[in-house]
Amino acid sequence: MSAVVKDVQDAAGALVEAFSSLESAETDVTNGTSDCVEVATAVSALLQREAPRMTTVGNRISACLLGVSTATADYVAADDTMSEDVRAAQTHAVESAGSGDFSWFTERSGVQR
């Protein structure tokens, strides 16, 4: 799972880098097309029009990465808690088998014995 998240983070970083270079690309297009101003104007307008959409794409990727990271951390924490509960249940099962005192189980389950 962490390898996938890292790959996506790397790809997102490359995407952000590409998006951030659009401003200089607009300048390059304008400067490099002095003979054909219409092309430079059209490309510049396209880049300006699409900039908010590209920002939104980057934001969604970041939000997904944060969501996956948070969900994974919560899953690991829940798994650790469950493991602790299983170990405690095993310990109390052994103790209850010898003593006949099942209060640990009945208190946790709400079942009256």
CA gap 44, 51 in Å, rounded: 11
- Domain encompassing residue 43: 2-109
Residue range 10-50, pLDDT digits in tens: 888 887 777 777 666 666 666 665 667 777 778 778 888 88
DSSP structure string for 45-69: HHHHHHHHHHHHHHHHHHHHHHHHH
**Which region, left, alpha or beta, applies to residue 9 given φ > 0 means left and ψ of -120 to 50 means alpha?**
alpha
State pTM to two decimals: 0.53
Average of per-residue pLDDT values in the chain: 83
| Tally of domains in the chain | 1
